[in-house]
Amino acid sequence: MKNQVQLITYVDRLGGRRDGADLARLRRLLGAPGSPLQGVFGGVHLLPFFDAIDGADAGFDPIDHTCVDPRLGDWSDIKALTDDLDVMADVIVNHMSAESPQFLDYAEKGEASAYAGLFLTLDAVFPDGATERDLLAVYRPRPGLPLTYATLKNGERRILWTTFTAAQIDIAVHHPQGRAYLTSILKTLASNGIGMVRLDAVGYAIKKAGASCFMMPETFDFIAEFAAEAKALGIEVLVEIHAYYQRQIEIARQVDWVYDFALPPLVLHAFNFHTAAALKRWIAVRPSNALTVLDTHDGIGIIDIGADASDRAAHPGLVPPEELDALVERIHAASGDQSRRATGAAASNLDLYQVNCTFFDAMGRDETAYLLARALQFFLPGVPQVYYVGLLAGHNDMDLLARSQVGRDINRHHYDEDEIARDCERPVVRRLIELIQLRNRHPAFGGEFQVEASGDDELRLRWHGAGHWASLRVDFATRGHELAYSGGDGGREVFAFS
């Protein structure tokens, strides 16, 4: 993976029209001469573009994971995009759509179906039956049990494993049919130029009686096996896990890449509480094989900096619980209470550990603070990734939220081409693009990183190598700041945040 800033986007929500040409249109937006985003990014993570993109979970419940939704284009368009940029795609490891041909066949024929072994049932995990204690031990990201009662068309009754929603049926990943299904996805992606995959929901893929069914030793074994299969096809692997921060460090030791999901709430904490203390503690231990983010297609993670739910006293978080609660309230206040209307029980598709809000609105639309947050993201070791709404300093889409009643849609706006052109002229967006270009091109970011000594209210970061340097200072108490770097002639240059 290039050490350059990546874009993460839905194909149809960044200038798309769903007319069969969206992938070609995105390629022009990111590469055509005269485009405001020409050459800005070193890679792009395409959020699910599989058939269909508008299911129960915005494409994360594919009907056909090996087919491009024809409203976006086809595999030749994907291949053309990989000629210009590094492209990442999702492998939805844990589940598939209840509308998939495989499940429809199973729903009709039951055990006589050729796909009977593909879908996970309660009996497959608990052949001797499940006790209340067994079910309560299962880790849940959302309310309720991970089970759905179903009567098949032939009259057979099943209790299906459904980690997220009843429309997303969990796959028996160790069954020969499950492995063949996942292998077919990897081979399709590799043959079309995809060089990196994100394993979506892989933390839940392995189920075991009497255990949490989340990031167990057996889960790591599965990840290692699947990653080896991907590597044999020339594909790098990113593992997506929201978890207690110490767990994230352990995970990073065993995989190629992880997300730094602790960074977004810690940056918000630093600006809201005027201290860098918690952020510094994280920087001292965080994995360097990380994709740094401030925003994604999901919400702002809270679990990533809180205490371990299994033993809060023995495993405290990076931020005390009272400050974490106060931070959530401050995000709600900064967004004019819009985020409250999209979070938790206020909207469907519940995520117990996330606040749904654009990052720009979470920072109260403070343009200088927002650019400083991006600078912090770009200065930390790892590969930065910028979400398309964050790229355009987007506001909460309350109209979309009202229509869908899905909390995360507040941060999933559909931009038309005119909106993109207008937003790219906003000063905060122009400065962010310049900041991305600085991070991509300056040779110091290929050198060595250090955190310089400072008080708890201040953070000083520095890169140096190949005769070049770049430094960032942010005082969270006074909002004093400076980003300076070596110029081409060896002189000193300063980035203007406004």
- CATH code of residue 413: 3.20.20.80
Same domain, 164 and 186: no
* pLDDT tens, residue by residue, 96-142: 999 999 999 999 999 999 999 999 999 999 999 999 999 999 998 77
Question: Within the chain, which residues score under 50 in pLDDT?
Answer: 348-350
Residue 385 located in a structural domain: yes
Dihedral of alpha carbons 227, 101, 65, 139, sign: negative
The CATH number assigned to the domain holding 116 equals: 3.90.400.10
- pLDDT given at position 350: 46
Same domain, 53 and 134: no
Same domain, 345 and 363: yes
The domain in which residue 484 lies consists of 451-494
Read off the amino acid at residue 126. F
- Integer Cα distance of 341 and 355 in angstroms: 10
What is the end-to-end Cα distance of the chain in Å, rounded? 32
Dihedral of alpha carbons 375, 256, 185, 164, sign: negative
Same domain, 164 and 233: no
Residue 200 dihedral angles phi and psi, to the nearest 5°: -80, 135
Same domain, 113 and 222: no
Same domain, 151 and 277: no
CB 83 within 8 A of CB 113: no
Same domain, 442 and 459: no
Residue 343 located in a structural domain: yes
Residue 1 located in a structural domain: no
Q: Which of 61, 69, 90, 240 is catalytic?
A: 240
Same domain, 106 and 42: no
Written as one string, the DSSP assignment of 398-452 is: HHHHHHH-BGGGGG---B-HHHHHHHTTSHHHHHHHHHHHHHHH-GGGGSEEEEE
Same domain, 122 and 51: no
Q: Which of 200, 295, 351, 397 is catalytic?
A: 200
240 is catalytic: yes
Read off the amino acid at residue 218. E
- pLDDT given at position 347: 54
- Integer Cα distance of 292 and 378 in angstroms: 8
Last residue in a domain, options 168, 188, 214: 168
Last residue in a domain, options 146, 168, 190: 168
- pLDDT given at position 312: 84
Same domain, 348 and 205: yes
Q: How many domains does the structure of the chain reveal?
A: 3
Last residue in a domain, options 168, 196, 222: 168
Long-range contact set of residues 50-54: C-beta below 8 Å, sequence gap at least 24:
52/97, 53/10, 53/11, 53/12
361 is catalytic: no
- Integer Cα distance of 423 and 430 in angstroms: 9
- pLDDT given at position 430: 98
Same domain, 25 and 82: yes
* pLDDT tens, residue by residue, 250-260: 889 888 999 99
